[in-house]
């Protein structure tokens, strides 16, 4: 099983729309999220885990980007977006928090 480090950020729809629009890897452009206080678990997991940047709007988790690189900021591409249907409703806060979403895979054996 793959190890995942998740960082959750609370923001608004306009910021998410901007990130989804402007970070195209085909154009060599990435998006970034500036981190005032850098998450220690990212540095500890370097090379050992997938890093995800989860986005919550109005307290509801909408999905995540896969972090491509970090040098004080989290860098990612728009096309790495993975929406989460029926995301968890959380109490909004400032800054970031660690977060790991349990993905539910459909049961393909039921017909």
Using CA atoms, how far apart are residues 81 and 83, in angstroms rounded to an integer? 6
Residue 7: pLDDT over 50: yes
Instruction: Write the burial class of residue 28 (CB in 10 Å: 0-12 exposed, 13-18 middle, 19+ buried).
Output: exposed
For the chain, which residues make up each domain, given as ranges? 4-98
Above 50 in pLDDT, residue 104? no
**Alpha carbon 52 to its chain's center:** 4
Q: Residue 11 above 50 pLDDT? A: yes
Full-prediction pTM beyond 0.85?
Answer: no
Query: Torsions phi, psi of 73, nearest 5?
Result: -125, 155
d(CA 89, CA 24): 29
Q: Give Dmax over CA atoms of the chain in angstroms.
A: 49
pLDDT in tens, 17-68: 999 988 877 777 889 898 877 788 887 777 778 899 999 999 999 999 999 9
Give the model's confidence band at 2: pLDDT under 50 very low, under 70 low, under 90 confident, else very high: low
pLDDT band, residue 1 (cuts 50/70/90): low
What's the mean pLDDT in 5-17? Answer: 93
């Amino acid at each position: 099983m793959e190890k995942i480090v998740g960082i959750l950020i609370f923001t608004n729809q306009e910021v998410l729309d901007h990130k989804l629009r402007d970070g195209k890897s085909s154009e060599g452009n990435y998006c970034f999220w500036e981190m005032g206080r850098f998450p220690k678990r990212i540095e500890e997991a370097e090379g050992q885990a997938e890093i995800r940047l989860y986005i919550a709007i109005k307290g509801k988790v909408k999905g995540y980007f896969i972090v491509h690189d970090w040098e004080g900021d989290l860098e990612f591409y728009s096309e790495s977006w993975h929406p989460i249907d029926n995301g968890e409703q959380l109490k909004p806060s400032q800054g970031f928090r660690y977060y790991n979403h349990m993905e539910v895979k459909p049961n393909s054996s039921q017909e």
